[in-house]
Amino acid sequence: MKLLSTLLVACGLMTTSMAYAAVDADAAQALLKKSDCFKCHAVDKKKDGPSYKEVAKKYAGKADAEDKLYKHVTTGPMVELDGKKEEHKKIKSTDAAEIKNAVAWILSAK
């Protein structure tokens, strides 16, 4: 009986941690690569745009982080590049789950 409850607890823990580790890093990077995002962004150094690490830090603990970035990468807001206003690149996908995965990956950059 004791063994059975230990097993049940272990299974419960496994499903919980899997739910939190749902970001598919490979898929996220593949999509960002396809969308030319790495031309202006790197994970840990500043290029024309801020590093993803910096973005993750800026949004750490903010409840609306995912929404804000989702809009940022899908609506093409104006950003400043070399002193000129330019429309920010849009992500090359219309699949909400795929885009959310990429945003979650950016927010988990460290």
| Long-range contacts at 36-44 (CB < 8 A, ≥ 24 apart) | 36/89, 37/89, 37/91, 40/81, 40/89, 43/109, 44/109
Please, what is the minimum distance in Å from the beta carbon of residue 39 to ligand HEC? 5
Distance of alpha carbon 25 from alpha carbon 22, whole angstroms: 9
Nearer to ligand HEC, 17 or 94 (CB): 94
DSSP 59-98: HTT-TTHHHHHHHHHHH--EEEETTEEEEPPPPS---HHH
Nearer to ligand HEC, 73 or 104 (CB): 73
Q: Residue 73, interface with ligand HEC (CB under 6 A)?
A: yes
Radius of gyration of the chain (CA): 18
- Binding residues among 27-66 for ligand HEC as defined by CB under 6 A: 32, 35-37, 39-41, 48-50, 55, 58
> Among 28, 56, 91, 104, which residue sits at the site for ligand HEC (rule: CB under 6 A)?
91
Distance of alpha carbon 36 from alpha carbon 4, whole angstroms: 51
Q: Residue 67, interface with ligand HEC (CB under 6 A)?
A: no
Q: Could you tell me which stretch among 9-17, 20-28, 86-94 binds ligand HEC (CB under 6 A)?
A: 86-94
Give the footprint of ligand HEC on this chain (CB under 6 A).
Answer: 32, 35-37, 39-41, 48-50, 55, 58, 68-69, 72-73, 79, 81, 88-89, 91, 106
